Amino acid sequence: ASEPKKRKPARSPGMSGSRQRHPPLDEKRLAMFAPGKIHSTNTQTVNSLDYSNNGDYLVTASEDNSVRLYTCNTGTQKQAVFCKRNGVSQARFTHHSNSIICASRVASKQESLRYLSLHDNVYLRYFPGHTDRVTQVEMCPVDDTFMSGSMDHTVRFWDLRSSKAAAILETKAPPVIGYDPQGLILAVFTARNLLSLYDIRTFTKGPFSTFNVDPGNSNSMWTHLKFTPDGDHILASTTGGKMFLYDSFKGNIKHTFEGRANPKMSRYKAKMPSLTFTPSISPDGQFILWGNCQGIFAYGIASGKFVKYW
pLDDT for res 276: 61
pLDDT for res 261: 52
Q: Is residue 37 within a helix (H) or strand (E), and if so which, with residue range?
A: none
- CB distance 246 to 236 below 8 Å: yes
pLDDT for res 15: 41
∠ Cα 286 290 293 (to 5°)? 160
**Helix/strand/coil (H, E, C) string of 170-209?**
ECCCCCEEEECCCCCEEEEEEECCEEEEEECCCHHHCCCE
pLDDT for res 166: 95
pLDDT for res 260: 59
HSE value, Cβ hemisphere, 13 Å, CA-based, for 217? 5
Neighbours of 234 (CB within 10 A): 24
Query: How is 251-272 classified by DSSP, letter by letter?
Result: --EEEEEE----GGGGGGGGGS
pLDDT for res 217: 78
CA atoms of 94 and 267, how far apart (whole Å): 41
| Distances in whole angstroms, Cα of residue 153 to Cα of each of 59, 178, 189, 209, 270 | 27, 15, 11, 20, 35
Neighbours of 62 (CB within 10 A): 25
Longest pairwise C-alpha distance within the chain: 53
- Exposure string of 69-99, with b = 16+ CB inside 10 Å and e = fewer, is bbebeeeeeeeebebeebbbbbbbbbbbbbb
Sequential pLDDT tens for the chain (310 residues): 434 443 343 443 434 444 556 678 899 999 898 888 888 899 998 999 999 999 999 999 999 999 999 999 999 999 999 998 899 999 999 999 999 999 998 888 788 999 999 999 999 999 999 999 999 999 999 999 999 999 999 999 999 999 999 999 999 999 999 999 999 999 999 998 999 999 999 988 999 999 999 988 778 889 999 999 999 999 999 988 889 999 999 999 999 998 655 455 444 444 444 456 789 999 999 999 988 777 888 999 999 999 988 8
pLDDT for res 22: 64
